[in-house]
């Protein structure tokens, strides 16, 4: 997308879809941060708190090894 297209995309309320290696809880946090209304976005201290809770949780939020494999595979196909 061009910068102009990105701006129009965002103005329409559209947001990036959930990356396939990203957990739903982390994606929901991302979506909250991207709210069009700044009053609906989490305050920084609340965001820090939420991320600290996620850090202590045993749940996997990003399948990093699978993501790295995909990036490396994509790099091979574009060479």
- CATH number of the domain enclosing 9: 1.10.510.10
What was the pLDDT predicted at 42?
95
| Range(s) of the domain holding residue 48 | 3-77
pTM above 0.75, yes or no: no
Comparing CA positions, the residue from 17, 15, 20, 2 lying closest to residue 67 is 20
For residues 63-68, average pLDDT: 81
Band of the pLDDT at 50, cuts 50, 70, 90? very high
67 vs 34, which has greater pLDDT?
A: 34
What was the pLDDT predicted at 30?
93
CB 22 within 8 A of CB 62: yes
Question: 2-31 pLDDT, tens per residue?
Answer: 999 999 998 898 998 998 888 899 999 999
CA distance 23 to 43: 22
The number of domains in the chain is: 1
β-bridge partners, 65: none
């Amino acid at each position: 997308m061009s910068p102009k297209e990105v701006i129009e995309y965002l103005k329409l309320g559209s947001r990036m879809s959930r990356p396939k290696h990203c957990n739903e809880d982390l994606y929901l946090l991302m979506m909250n941060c991207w709210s069009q209304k700044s009053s609906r976005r989490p305050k920084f201290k609340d965001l820090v708190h939420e991320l600290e809770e996620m850090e202590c949780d045993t749940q996997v939020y990003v399948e990093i090894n699978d993501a790295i494999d995909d990036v490396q595979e994509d790099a091979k196909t574009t060479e």
